Amino acid sequence: MALATGLSHKCRVTVIPSTPLVTFLERVQETALGTFGGKNFDAKLYVDLSLKFNLSKTEKAFDGLPRSDENGTVSVKDLKEFIATYFADAGDDLLHYDPEDFVPEPEGFLPKVKNPEVRAWALEVHALWKNLSRKVSDGVLEQPELHTLLPLPEAVVVPGSRFIEVYYWDSYWVIRGLLASKMYETAKAIVTNFIFLVDTYGYVLNGSRAYYTNRSQPPLLSAMVYEIYNRTCDVELVRKALPALLKEHAFWNSEIHKVTIQDAQGCNHNLSRYYAMWNKPRPESSTKDKESASKFLSDSEKQQFYRDIASAAESGWDFSTRWMRNTSEFTTLSTTSILPVDLNVYILKMELDIAFMANVLGNKATMESFLEAAEARKKAINSVFWNGEMGQWFDYRLANGTICKESETWQACNQNQNVYASNFIPLWIDLFHSDAALVENVMGSFQSSGLVNVAGIATSLINSGQQWDFPNGWAPLQHMIVEGLLRSGLKEARSLAEDIAVRWINTNYVGYMKTGAMHEKYDVQKCGEFGGGGEYIPQTGFGWSNGVLLAFLEEFGWPEDRSIGC
């Protein structure tokens, strides 16, 4: 038995206000759904449009559109004409950019890749960085009020397809790939943009859009800086980043995120949760969110549901049964009532990275204080999430789905014992993978979990139709688990890591040869098949998939005599 405490002030509604432009574009989005219908409708497209004229003129023209008497819809012809007249195309405010540090075949590129076929393909994937590089147009910098795109100071690398702006956690794996491609300046520019966002907002946004200011994403900025420093020894980057990292750490440990759990011995443990500062439909999916929320009768229930949807988006796992009380009912999302294993691992890594960087800069007091914080979080992770019987770390669900009470009873049954890839993410961190006995225990659990499939690691064992569930495999999850196994130094762990990496490389290769593209996610049941499910059609490009592929090829190579394919 243990006690979870949450002070009542945590129940104050925290909402970051929207902008007049975003509010107006949501109206256009809703009208477009009524006019064009739901087939192939992508709500995000409408909130990514930029204005050709000022907002009041555009809004006046919109309000003046003729509408049908029956249901107030605008005709297809009128709406198409209005959009063409008053808006620039989504994406026009981000210009293609040639990165100065891109060369077609960098010196020392993937030295362990000996197979000519694999090498030629890797160079094609490397060349995709040029396709995905963008710079914010002068128009955004001069008239930011006409755009939902935010005016970032440096060039960016976008994921691809409908994701035409930079995203926070995607960028960690983009950077891992850029480092394999020797594109150090491009990698540093991404970090510079994120430091700018922390300086402006107090945290890194989910993505560089005005409608993303109400939430962050998995906090991996410190990990980005750490990896770049490891390759470049750029002390100035560390000096520039450290104040932003301290600010970000404070954000993730602020009152809306922090939950204190008291264990059976009376020890208090602080852990963090996702908590979007929002209680309305997400502007980029407004029409869908309203439809999902229509099951709720009261405004307060709808608002809580909207917060939980936005918080699931903040987690990066949008969407998954992991956040649902009932795995077959989407409206039981309760993200803010869950203490997630992976989020706390990322914050632990942030604490270790800050300690490392403080040491680089000779700041011993900060180093010691963050080493203590990391040790405390490690204890918290093991006290609250670890299940020795199962050999996994499980998310913990706060009782009654709220922490508004002064206290609540903690019980082992509040661990979510469904199998998710996130249950194994602690292996990524040195404080866990340096314990050989622990790694052996967790590795046995992982191998018998059902997650390891013919084409990689599944996200979960539940086929819900959501994209962060079975049978989808995602590049970041493959990478963190493989890297954790590898860094443990155990021979069997290295062998398992390489086996998974080879499966993933094979499925990426066959998918690329079939479709001419790298994909956002893959179906781990079938080699060479891309994934599906979720609230939008499968996307190509694709930032983090490219990054993980190049990182795997850099680490494991590909022998000349090993064939590639399914």
pTM of the model: 0.96
Query: Distance from CA of residue 74 to its chain's centroid?
Result: 37
What pLDDT shows up at residue 263?
Answer: 86
- The residue among 245, 276, 257, 280 whose CA lies nearest residue 352 is 245
**Per-residue model confidence (pLDDT) at position 401:** 56
353 belongs to the catalytic site: no
C-alpha radius of gyration, the chain, whole number: 23
Residue labelled with tokens 């574009």 = 25
pLDDT surpassing 60 at residue 519: yes
pLDDT exceeds 90 at position 395: yes
Catalytic (active site) residue 81 = no
CA–CA separation, 68 and 71 (whole Å) = 6
d(CA 429, CA 488): 9
pLDDT of residue 534: 85
pLDDT beyond 90 at 7:
no
Kind of pairing, strands 87-88 and 50-51?
antiparallel
Q: What is the pLDDT of residue 314?
A: 98
For residue 448, pLDDT over 70 is answered with yes
Give me 132's structure tokens: 């995905």
Sorting pLDDT into bands at 50, 70 and 90, what band is 404? low
Nearest to 274 by CA among 243, 251, 291: 251
Other beta carbons within 10 angstroms of residue 3's beta carbon come to: 16
**Cα 478–Cα 481–Cα 482 angle in degrees, nearest 5:** 75
User: At a CB cut-off of 8 Å and minimum separation 6, what does 463 contact?
Assistant: 469, 470, 471
8 A C-beta contact, residue 480 and residue 176: no
Looking at 248, 318, 342, 483, which residue is catalytic? Answer: 318
pLDDT, residue 485, reads 98
DSSP state of 558: B
Helix (H) or strand (E) holding 473: strand 472-473
Place of tokens 């694999």: 118
**Locate tokens 């509604």: which residue?**
13
Mean pLDDT across 351-365: 98
Residue 318 pLDDT > 60: yes
At position 75, the amino acid (one-letter code) is S
Which of 376, 385, 500, 392 minimizes the C-alpha distance to 431? Answer: 376
In the predicted structure, residue 408 carries a pLDDT above the cut 60: no
Side chain identity at residue 427, one-letter code: L
409 pLDDT tier (thresholds 50, 70, 90): low
Rounded CA gap, 21 and 146, in Å? Answer: 7
Give the pLDDT band of residue 297 (cuts 50, 70, 90): very high
DSSP string for 88-106: EPTTTTEEE---TT--SS-
Q: What's the average model confidence in pLDDT over 9-23?
A: 83
Query: Per-residue pLDDT for 1 more than 80?
Result: no
Q: Report percent pLDDT > 70 for the chain.
A: 96
Burial class (CB in 10 A: 0-12, 13-18, 19+), 269: buried
pLDDT value at 422 more than 70? yes
Band (pLDDT 50/70/90 cuts) for residue 168 is: very high
First to last CA, the chain: 50
What sections of 98-220 are H helices per DSSP?
A: 116-132, 138-142, 170-180, 184-201
Q: DSSP label at 533?
A: -
HSE-CB at 102 with a 13 A cutoff on CA atoms is: 18
Cβ atoms of residues 510 and 563 within 8 Å: no
Angle 201-174-153 from CA coordinates, rounded to 5°: 40
- Work out the mean pLDDT of the chain and round it to a whole number: 94
Cα–Cα dist 247/356, whole Å: 16
3-class SS shares of the chain: helix, strand, coil, % to 5: 50, 10, 35
Residue 39 backbone class (left: φ over 0; alpha: ψ -120 to 50; beta: rest): beta
Please, is 400 exposed, middle or buried when counting C-beta atoms within 10 Å of its C-beta (0-12, 13-18, 19+)? exposed
Distance CA 54, CA 50 (A): 10
Q: In whole angstroms, what is the distance from residue 208 CA to residue 135 CA? A: 12
* Under 8 Å between Cβ of 419 and 450: yes
Q: In which region does residue 394 sit, left (phi positive, over 0), alpha (psi from -120 to 50) or beta (all else)?
A: beta
Residues whose CB falls within 8 Å of the CB of residue 292, separated by 6 or more in sequence, listed in order:
305, 309, 330, 331
Residue 266 confidence (pLDDT): 81
**Which among 395, 520, 529, 554 is annotated as catalytic?**
520
Average pLDDT over residues 216-242: 98
Query: Is the CB of residue 381 less than 8 Å from the CB of residue 345?
Result: yes
pLDDT tens digits, residue range 455-471?
999 999 999 999 999 99
Partners of 260 in the β-ladder? 5, 270
- The SS3 assignment for 522 reads strand
76-86 helix and 20-36 helix, angle to the nearest 10 degrees: 150
